[in-house]
Structure 1
């Protein structure tokens, strides 16, 4: 079966990844010329906390039987925190954390605008993921949210 839309989407994603790799190689060349203490990227306390929450979410989902495929996938429209496989389903996971439940909490912070960004990012990343892990066949997809708030964690499968 020949689907021109999928071919265009796949080609678009492939070119975006090539541009990203080119930028990373150029940055790696620049950092190799810098002294060792400046070549190491610095992370803020907020970034460190976010990374810790992503690691905890990864452990939670893996213990539930999901298989990790990728972490922090970037494209021009945004970032996907975790990409997992649940049987034959591709799962895009957004990890959110809030110190309190005020203003709706962590899960409520994934509003329509954030959902739209995640959908656009997933559409760009889907062809390559399908090529790598499903032999080019587009799998069923779902979007989960793992929300950390007030010391608790909530996994919301098929959140939107």
Structure 2
């Protein structure tokens, strides 16, 4: 009788694993699905990120990664400036009202950026600095109206 119970338990566990695999596969999008559509505002933001990337590369920085997402937030650009890891935030505002794009990087945003940077720092150090944690800084590229401005060391962590 115990052999029958053991066989039943093994079959039940196998069926549960198969059901779990089926559910997981159903949630995954098919590989040939086109990327999701971007809103006009997202496409504008993508254009600003591209412009910021060209500006920074023209000044000698090297792109390491783009749009690093984690639970804490997103790092727009991760770049290398010599031996310094640079986390870049790209911000845009149509008008200078309320302080403009630079003022929109308030304490709460700085805190989110710092947590996201802390999340990605070990991985970037492993990939690009052979595991040694590099010096890091936070830059911002801001677009106010039609003007672009690169703010080196836009903020520091206290």
TM-score, structure 2 as length reference: 0.79
Structure 1 portions without partners, runs of 5+: 1-24
Relative to its length, the structure with more helix (as a share) is 1
Cα offset for 1:108? Answer: 0.5
**Count of residues in Structure 1 that have an aligned counterpart in Structure 2:** 132
Gaps of 5+ in 2: 1-23
Radius of gyration: which is bigger? 2
**Partner residue of 1:6?**
none
Corresponding residue to 2:86 among 85, 91, 116: 91
State which of 62, 75, 82 in structure 1 corresponds to 2:57. Answer: 62
Structure 1 139/26 Cα, relative in aligned 2: closer, same or farther at 3 Å?
A: farther
Distance (Å, rounded) in 2 between the aligned partners of 1:54 and 1:96: 9
The Cα offsets for residues 71-129 of structure 1, whole Å up to 9 and x where unpaired, read as 00011111000000000000000000000000000011000000000000000100000
Q: CA RMSD in A?
A: 1.8
CA distance in 1 between partners of 2:25 and 2:49 (Å):
28
Cα separation, partners in 2 of 1:112 and 1:29, compared to 1, 3 Å? same
State yes or no: 1:134 paired with 2:129. yes
2:39 is the alignment partner of 1:51? no
Structure 2 match to 1:120? 115
2:95 to 100, 123, 126: 100
Q: CA deviation at 1:30?
A: 1.9
* Regions of 4+ moved over 3 Å: 25-29
- TM-score normalised to the size of structure 1? 0.78
SS in 2 for 1:158: strand
Alignment partners' CA distance in 1, 2:120 and 2:27 = 23
